[in-house]
Amino acid sequence: MKMLLCGDVVGKAGRRVLEENLPEIRERLDLDFVVVNGENAAHGFGITDKICKSFYDAGADVITTGNHVWDQREIINYIDGDEKLLRPMNYPEGTPGVGTGIFEAASGRRVMVLHPMGRLFMDPLDDPFAAVEEALRNHRLGQTVDAILVDFHGEATSEKQGMGHFLDGRVSAVVGTHTHVPTADAQILPGGTAFQTDIGMTGDYDSVIGMKKELATSRFTTKMPQGRLEPAEGDATLCAVYVETNDANGLATNVGPLRMGGRLREIWPE
């Protein structure tokens, strides 16, 4: 199975590069399944129902989020009605929405998506390792589902790498989101799980993690109260990770970055 996981979409620039290019990418790579992290899609903070629809129309099968999931308050009443929009799975019981699901790919195969959020330098949520362990209790890769994808939304590289090794051999891929900076460590772990510490953002890289650089920089140089950060709106780069799996067991056979547009050097998976 051929799958793509797209990094945090930031603002209008990120939405534009995703919506303009994802249909072509799906066709060119003959993708079976696409996950898009959309937690910064609404002017840099959260996501709306209209943006969800535009991502689905462009070719996203599932949308993940993160710590900004509730920034657009309208999403609180919307999320229960959209099973393809996931919030972090380790929020306390009773939180609206769900953080995991099983979805049908274009090929008809069953893809499970897990969306935990880290705790190091993040909100003090429930244990993400225990949450994924519980979610996998009744599911086995290559048996009850054909692929398992994990979007681990976290700040610390150590925590994300720890999750990769914790799940190695039990899921198809573990990829990190949240830092908005792509890491150069795409690999297949010893047990057969594809891994990359962070996909990077889909947004304007002439910025400070997607936000206009002047205001963001002044926060560091003056230490004075500043206005609300605004997303940069120049040419954006689409950052994603391509994962190919063995149909017999669901483990990874190929993994690599995909980057196109904007300032970063274009890379296509081999």
Which residues are known to be catalytic?
68
State whether residue 170 is helix, strand or coil. Answer: coil
Output DSSP code: residue 265. P
DSSP 183-233: -S--EE-TTS-EEES----BB-SSSBTTB-HHHHHHHHHH-S------B--
Tokens of 243: 């994962």
Q: How far is CA 29 from the centre of its chain?
A: 19
Per the document, the length of the chain is 270
What are residue 23's phi and psi, to 5 degrees?
A: -60, -40
Distance (Å, whole) CA 252 – CA 3: 10
Tokens of 253: 């056979």
Angle of helix 128-135 relative to helix 157-167, nearest 10 degrees? 20
Using alpha carbons only, give the angle 57, 234, 210 rounded to the nearest 5 degrees.
80
Tokens of 187: 């690999």
